[in-house]
């Protein structure tokens, strides 16, 4: 279930000096976050092999929507893990490795949250789940827990999600989470030789507070 435009998050270039300074003061602890079935934690250097195996198991689906999966090599994963550790350390983005509580060795996928505008408390969420475990509610549960981080720990006002047109599985996740469709970005991302339109979805903090009760009832958080 691929969704975001990079292996874990879209690299954001903060142009405002104020945003750069604020990023240093809005850091997350490295402790794992738990949902009823899952563990979400920051990446470690030793995660490269498990992440590579998950990507290889999912390449046909990933390469349909994500540029980094086209002509994929193991070095892409190794670089991502290195970049992810650095991004977390300076507050640019927060990539979580998704693992099952009863099997923390198998990589299930990634979910990431990052600011697109700190001045306006706006962020984005991205995720992908390995192809051989779809239709088990894992992506929805992981994304719900990551949204809890975005709204309750990072104090975001609005979280968006950009999804390639045709990626119905990822659209179902945000729909279940209560996001509203806000529009379509034309030719937003080039994947191989194809330009893909992306739909934009949004969830506000007041909507999150309402939806959170439902998340608990569904055993997602």
Tokens for 119? 């001045």
Residue 8 placed within a domain: no
- pLDDT(1) > 80: no
Residue 186 placed within a domain: yes
Is 153 buried (19+), middle (13-18) or exposed (0-12) by CB count in 10 A?
A: middle
Q: Report the percentage of the chain scoring pLDDT > 70.
A: 88
- Binned at pLDDT 50, 70 and 90, residue 8 comes out as low
Q: Note down the domain range covering 204.
A: 17-217
CATH label of the domain that carries residue 186: 3.40.630.30
Q: Taking residues 56-74, what's their average pLDDT? A: 95
Output the pLDDT for position 26.
60
The SS3 assignment for 140 reads helix
The SS3 assignment for 134 reads coil
Output the pLDDT for position 201.
98
Q: Which tens digit of pLDDT belongs to each residue from 94-115?
A: 999 999 999 999 999 999 999 9
Residue 78 placed within a domain: yes
Residue 12 placed within a domain: no
- Binned at pLDDT 50, 70 and 90, residue 7 comes out as low
Q: How many separate domains does the chain show?
A: 1
Residue 209 placed within a domain: yes
Q: What is the pTM of this model?
A: 0.89
Q: Taking residues 7-21, what's their average pLDDT? A: 45
Residue 4 placed within a domain: no
Residue 6 placed within a domain: no
205 Cβ partners below 8 Å, 6+ apart?
A: 151, 156, 157, 158
Alpha helices of the chain — where are they, by DSSP H?
17-25, 48-65, 74-90, 138-148, 168-176, 205-217
Residue 9 placed within a domain: no
* Sheet-wide strand order for 94-100: 33-34, 38-42, 94-100, 109-117, 122-129, 158-164, 194-204, 180-191
């Amino acid at each position: 279930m691929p969704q975001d435009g990079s292996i874990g998050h879209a690299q954001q270039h903060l142009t405002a000096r104020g945003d750069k300074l604020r990023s240093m003061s809005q850091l997350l602890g490295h402790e794992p976050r738990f949902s009823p079935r899952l563990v979400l934690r920051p990446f470690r250097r030793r995660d490269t092999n498990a992440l590579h195996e998950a990507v290889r198991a999912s390449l046909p689906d990933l390469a349909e929507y994500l540029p980094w999966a086209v002509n994929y090599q193991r070095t892409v994963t190794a670089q991502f893990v290195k970049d992810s550790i650095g991004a977390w350390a300076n507050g640019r983005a927060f990539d979580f490795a998704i693992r099952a509580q009863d099997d923390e060795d198998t990589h299930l996928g990634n979910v990431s949250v990052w600011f697109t505008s700190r001045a306006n408390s706006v962020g984005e969420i991205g995720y992908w789940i390995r192809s051989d475990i779809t239709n088990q509610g894992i992506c929805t549960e992981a994304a719900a827990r990551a949204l809890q981080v975005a709204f309750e720990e990072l104090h975001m006002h609005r979280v968006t999600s950009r999804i390639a047109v045709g990626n119905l599985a990822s659209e179902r996740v945000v729909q279940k989470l209560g996001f509203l469709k806000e529009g379509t970005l034309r030719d937003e991302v080039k994947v191989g030789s194809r330009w893909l339109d992306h739909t934009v979805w949004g969830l506000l903090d007041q909507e999150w507070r309402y939806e959170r009760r439902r998340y608990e009832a569904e055993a997602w958080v």
